[in-house]
Amino acid sequence: MKKNRSEFSISNPNSCLALMIFTVAMFLGSQVFAGQLSLGVKLDTWTTNFVSPVNGTEFFVPFALNFNLNPDINVYGETEFGVGSYTPSIDGSETTNLSALSDSLVGTEMRFKFFSLPALLNIGINIPSGDPTWESKQITANIPSEFVDTRYTGRGLGISALYGLSFPAGSSEFGMSLGYSYAGTYNPGSLPGLPSGDLKLGDSMFISVNHVTSFSGNQSQIIRLSAFNYLTTQVNKVDSYKQGPNFNASYSWNNPKALSFELGIQYFAAGQRPSPSDPTVLVTEANQYWAPRFYLNPTYALGDLTVSGLLKYVLPNGYTTGDAFYDGGGWLAGLEPNYKFNLDGASDIKLKASYQFIIHHNAGQDINLNYVDADYNLFTFGAYYEVRL
């Protein structure tokens, strides 16, 4: 049987990447247009060859809007409507069909000078407009979250703040940012590995240091170091888990007319779990639940066509095969072509497609109780209409 690992028990470590990328780009030049509106459609579908095959299909309609109140203040918002169908068993009798609006994000980004240094303050609010039970209902049919993030969000009220400073130095630039993310309480329904009740994911604190060097032809290189620290995740106001610190390092080369790539590593320290002898006391894990991982993201631009790749390797964690917390790690390899049609000077249509092949080592046991790999095939298709305001 396949193991189910709750992705609610900690703040998802894969979400670190989005915030890291954001802090790299935050000191780029201001937009020429007053804002942008984006409306899209996206289809995700996946299958696996595991002994108890799972599959899923998700259809999303994302909407995003940002607007510059003045050259230094931008407001933004985004949400999406989702429809999902998930089948975790071979006979299809357990198929779950869901449809709901996801959580919504609104926020503002303010640029200013701090003792003559370029500075930025970003404040975002997660509005709980989604279905908080969605992720628990589809978790047994989903791809493990160490490879692919959950695409639908339905969680409690959340507030994130990030403050950054830029230190120009000729053709180079140093950047430093600090952030804090508050996660509110919500009830996700029945969860594998967690008692039912109100869940509060651990708040996270973030620090990042970047060094950007610019070259001719809008080329640049970026060296990035960052770290996350987490507070305790609680169930019904009782400590349930405390994720260990997360450390990240990466190198990026950007060439808008040819080859770009990012190479990085993520490391997760051991967390804390309830003691077997006294569940009210958290003790350090015997091994790291989340193993280190490496990734390479190359991109090649050919005019309006870009082709991106993804290669990711997740090491096995420190637990032995058969342990309840064991994870065998694995590989992810993907390819994503994107094409942009320019309709006029203020609007365009972007077409996206991707294929990702995932091997999850020793994911579970077959009918003979032998540990076997699970292979996943994930296909994504999307189209987005963008209008610059």
Cα separation, 199 vs 235, whole angstroms: 5
Average pLDDT over residues 266-291: 92
Q: Could you give the percent of the chain with pLDDT greater than 90? A: 69
What's the mean pLDDT when you consider all of the chain? 88
More confident residue, 33 or 158: 158
Q: Taking 50 as the threshold, does the pLDDT of residue 15 lie above it? A: no
pLDDT for res 40: 97
Q: Which domains does the chain have, with CATH numbers?
A: 13-35+138-388 (2.40.160)
- What is the token pair recorded at 212? 């950007």
* Sequence-ordered alpha helix ranges (H) in 26-71: none
Handedness of CA 314, 319, 322, 326 (dihedral sign): negative
pLDDT for res 150: 86
Cα torsion through 25, 156, 36, 379, rounded to 10: 80
Cβ proximity of 23 and 208 under 8 Å: yes
